[in-house]
Amino acid sequence: MKRALITGITGQDGRYLGELLVAKGYQVFGLIRGQANPKERLVVEENPALELVEGDLRDLPSLIAAVEQVQPDEVYNLGAISFVQLSFKQAELTAEITGLGVLRMLEAVRIVGGSDRNPIRFYQASSSEMFGKVREVPQTERTPFHPRSPYGVAKVFGHDMTVNYREAYGLHASSGILFNHESPRRGLEFVTRKITNSVARIKLGLQDSISLGNLDSSRDWGFAGDYVQAMWMMLQQDEPDDYVIAPGETHTIREFLDVAFRLAGIDDWEPYVRRDPRFYRPAEVDLLIGDATKAHERLGWRPTVSFEELVQMMYEADLEAEERQLRQRR
Ligand code: NAP
Ligand code: G4F
């Protein structure tokens, strides 16, 4: 039975990856920070085979102890401050967790190592946010980085460290440059889930409007369940490498609003959407679109959920959850 350690187990991707690996017969351990966090109970309730170990990406000894305890075949480093807007306000903390946290996890893996015959394999959750002010369209593994946020800068550090540990120490360390991926499990602070949740509440008469920032940026959105498959595929390769993961289709926030409101039977969403300066960023990433040819050819990875299907999946899940809460309140 293979053993996997996942940091960020309480996050969107950690939850999908934990379920995928259990379904594949792995013994799965999720790193939790060790203080009462309601999401820790939730992840064990939805995935009872999961085991939790304590550790924090700010604390190297705790990471070494966790890797020693688990003796994993594979480590997936998904833990991070992942909200770009927050990273502008908490830049130092973002550098600490999203950036230096990668170095600490790599060190823990290098120090504990695994057996000579079976060295630990490492996955780093890199991001299309590293492309920032994009130097070419579409973006590939060879596109230069130009990050536009403290989060993006921290991710570039983590990505480069992963490459360096691969080259310097021969670690089987791969980096997935993942474009935005969403699901009903997406945090409410991200624009997609904020929209689908608000539109469901507007439909049910629980909310009048949504306050948003820049509606003109474009993202290459996909379904998180498809993306965790790619993470696993990368660690099954004989050689570690970097891969762009994206559907290759870009849409503006306005287009996301079009589809979500149409599902609620509203054709003109302008009266329901307010512009709020609090949600604009000091520097924006205007256009992301990925070219995942390498992942198609070498991993056999393909997305299975279209943009419209993704919006529908998220809207319907939010509508159902809001209706359930309404019934419980009555
Ligand atoms: P998420 O939902 O925000 O989850 C972040 C996870 O990091 C949570 O489990 C959180 O745990 C954990 N974490 C935060 N600080 C930590 C610390 N000091 N020590 C240990 N764990 C800590 O993020 P996600 O969407 O699942 O994304 C997973 C990873 O992929 C992240 O690294 C993200 O930056 C990257 N990524 C995401 C996307 C995307 O579109 N979703 C695209 C590219 C890359 P708590 O519950 O304890 O806070
Ligand atoms: O949903 P977002 O916050 O995602 P963003 O900034 O693209 O970052 C996500 O994807 C990255 C991959 O490229 C990940 F690495 C990262 O961890 C995260 O998962 O914002 C998307 C766009 C931005 O252009 C933002 O300015 O939506 C725009 N936006 C407009 N109004 C808003 C809002 N974003 C949020 N969160 N909230 C708004 O009210």
The domains found in the chain, sorted by start residue, are: 3-182+222-245 (3.40.50.720), 191-218+250-287+306-329 (3.90.25.10)
Query: What residue type is 229 in one-letter code?
Result: Q
DSSP H helices in the chain: 12-23, 38-46, 60-70, 84-89, 91-94, 101-112, 150-169, 191-203, 224-235, 253-263, 293-294, 307-329
146-196: pLDDT as tens digits: 999 999 999 999 999 999 999 999 999 999 999 999 999 999 999 999 999
> Is 54 among the residues known to form the active site?
no
Asked if pLDDT for residue 137 goes beyond 90, the answer is: yes
Catalytic annotation, pick one of 129, 175, 183, 198: 129
Residue-level pLDDT at 35: 78
Residue-level pLDDT at 118: 84
Residue-level pLDDT at 34: 80
Residue-level pLDDT at 36: 77
- CA angle at 142 for the pair 224 and 157, rounded to the nearest 5°: 70
Asked if residue 279 has its Cβ within 6 Å of ligand 2, the reply is: yes
Mean pLDDT, residues 31-36 taken together: 87
CA of 217 from ligand 2 middle (Å) equals 9
Residue 75 three-state SS = strand
> Is 183 among the residues known to form the active site?
no
Mean pLDDT, residues 95-119 taken together: 93
Band (pLDDT 50/70/90 cuts) for residue 299 is very high
Residue-level pLDDT at 95: 98
The sign of the dihedral angle between the CA atoms of 168, 160, 126, 247 is: negative
Residue-level pLDDT at 215: 98
Asked if pLDDT for residue 37 goes beyond 90, the answer is: no
Residue 201 to residue 322: CA distance in whole angstroms: 7
Q: 223: Cβ–Cβ under 8 A, 6 or more apart, which residues?
A: 181, 182, 183, 303, 304, 305, 309, 310, 313
Is 0.95 topped by the overall pTM? yes
Nearest by Cα to 175 from 245, 109, 105: 245
CA of 228 from ligand 2 middle (Å) equals 20
Mean pLDDT, residues 187-211 taken together: 98
173 touches 158 (CB < 8 A): no
263 touches 311 (CB < 8 A): yes
Instruction: Say how far residue 273 (Cα) sits from the centre of its chain.
Output: 26
CA of 77 from ligand 2 middle (Å) equals 21
Residue-level pLDDT at 220: 98
Pick the residue whose CA is nearest to atom 15 on ligand 2.
Answer: 127
Asked if pLDDT for residue 281 goes beyond 90, the answer is: yes
Residue-level pLDDT at 117: 75
Catalytic annotation, pick one of 151, 227, 243, 315: 151
Residue-level pLDDT at 114: 73
CA of 262 from ligand 1 middle (Å) equals 31
Residue-level pLDDT at 201: 98
CA distance to 100, 128, 272, per residue, from 160 (Å): 11, 14, 43
Band (pLDDT 50/70/90 cuts) for residue 24 is very high
Mean pLDDT, residues 44-59 taken together: 97
Asked if pLDDT for residue 39 goes beyond 80, the answer is: yes
Mean pLDDT, the chain, rounded, equals: 97
Band (pLDDT 50/70/90 cuts) for residue 292 is very high
Residue 174 to residue 171: CA distance in whole angstroms: 9
As a whole number of angstroms, the longest Cα–Cα distance in the chain is 63
149 touches 87 (CB < 8 A): yes
> Is 92 among the residues known to form the active site?
no
Band (pLDDT 50/70/90 cuts) for residue 251 is very high
CB atoms near residue 23 (< 10 Å) = 10
